[in-house]
Amino acid sequence: MSYKIPLFKLNFDEQEQEAVVATLRSQWISTGPQCEALEKLFASMLGAAHAVALSNCTVALHLAMKLLDINAGDEVICPSLTFVATVNAIRYVQAVPVFADITGPDKINIDPQQIRNSITPRTRAIVVMHYAGFPCAMDEIMAIAREHNLKVIEDACHGPLSEYKGKKLGTIGDIGCFSFFSNKNISTGEGGMLVTNDEALAKKAKLLRSHGMTTMSYQRASGHATEYDVVEPGFNYRMDDIHASIGLVQMKKLQADLDQRAVVRARYEELLADNKALIIPYTGTKEFVSNYIFPVVLREGGKERRDELRNRLHAEGIQTSVHYPAVHRFSIYQPFTRSLPQTELVADTELTLPMFASLTADEQQYIADTLKKIL
Ligand SMILES: *Cc1c(COP(=O)(O)O)cnc(C)c1O
């Protein structure tokens, strides 16, 4: 069925089409000048020293584990209320995910106190995920990391240009990882970016994304290199110039898109303020936030009531989603399961309402009215 109001709409126009056609006409479609331009723009917009374009965020997370030398048996503290890729990446290097609970239904990011309680002599790193672009408590988390000599990886897929105390998310820890999957704030179909302020890590990321080879095809084709050595068993995790050219257009639209999302969020907060059945996480946040999604949490009832509500909204033409089923409950993560009461509560009672820059006030009124009627 096609929804009256979908969860997400692409912010695309002729510019993306023209960019792709120009790249096709240039006759260079693999990693090349478009990727380089996207890396430069991304790094400068975030105030990061380095950005490395990759085929998606999942491989960025994998490279982050490799670059920070996380190995078999090492423990990595992570949230369970996240997309499964955050945790799968820990398993790619045979490290052990140690799930830490979120703060609660109004603050659904990882709880620094729970991170502290999860540290053992084998802990090597913390992966945080900035839910919907709302920043994790990075001051506390960085202090814990310094105290215990831990690496910090930011899964910043939800938060391009989101801020924490004046710093852009993804630039606070050792490595930040971003996704340009279709439904993200920056959409290229598939795509990702790794950012770091550490030049050595950036260099190694570039090596590992391309088979561990010391030069790339584009450098050879443009006469800058004729030979290559292979110094690591690397991967093919490259972005190509077709995707990068879409990314460049999307980056230029990003600030305006996010400004409009902030308007959409403020309208939701106002429309839903008197709906006592709902908790709106992060109400009143002052930081600039990307608003990748708009989560609400049911104050009462459990998974059945939430699922029933979603069915009713579906019948009224409103698409919703759940962010996220808790990762520790998936079959493959049973061996790593822990007591995570707040994560389980939110995983069972959260639903995600439509959120995109062109969502109109009338559409939001319809969503708010429909929610009120059903609840
Ligand atoms: C989308 C997403 C990913 C995966 O990104 P891909 O680019 O699809 O690999 C990882 N973590 C979070 C939190 C995400 O939202």
Q: Which segments in the chain show pLDDT lower than 50?
A: none
Tell me where in the chain the CATH 3.90.1150.10 domain(s) lie: 255-374
pLDDT at 267: 98
C-beta 179 within 6 A of ligand 1: yes
pLDDT at 225: 79
Tell me where in the chain the CATH 3.40.640.10 domain(s) lie: 14-251
- The arrangement of secondary structure in 14-251, i.e. its CATH architecture, is 3-Layer(aba) Sandwich (3.40)
Taking CB atoms within 8 Å and a gap of at least 24, the contacts of 370-374 are 370/313, 370/316, 370/318, 371/272, 371/275, 371/278, 371/313, 372/275, 374/309, 374/312, 374/313, 374/316
pTM of the model: 0.97
pLDDT at 353: 98
- CB-CB contact of 67 with 90 (8 Å): no
Closest CA to 152 of 181, 132, 131, 177: 177
Distance of CA 88 from the midpoint of ligand 1 (Å): 11
C-beta 294 within 6 A of ligand 1: no
pLDDT tens column, 144-198? 999 999 999 999 999 999 999 999 999 999 999 999 999 999 999 999 999 999 9
User: Beta-carbon neighbour count of residue 49 at 10 Å?
Assistant: 14
Distance of CA 85 from the midpoint of ligand 1 (Å): 6
pLDDT at 226: 79
**Rounded distance between C-alpha atoms, residue 175 and residue 48, angstroms:** 10
Distance of CA 40 from the midpoint of ligand 1 (Å): 22
Tell me the two tokens of residue 296: 């609400």
Superfamily of domain 255-374: Aspartate Aminotransferase, domain 1 (3.90.1150.10)
Distance of CA 276 from the midpoint of ligand 1 (Å): 32
- CB-CB contact of 174 with 65 (8 Å): no
Q: Name residues whose C-beta falls within 8 Å of residue 232's C-beta, 6 or more positions apart in sequence.
A: 204, 207, 208, 212
Report the residue among 7, 56, 57 best suited for mutation to probe ligand 1: largest number of ligand atoms under 8 A from its CB.
57
Q: What are the start-end ranges of the H helices in 130-198?
A: 138-148
Residue type, 151: K
Using alpha carbons only, how large is the chain's radius of gyration in Å? 21
pLDDT tens column, 274-310? 999 999 999 989 999 999 999 999 999 999 999 999 9
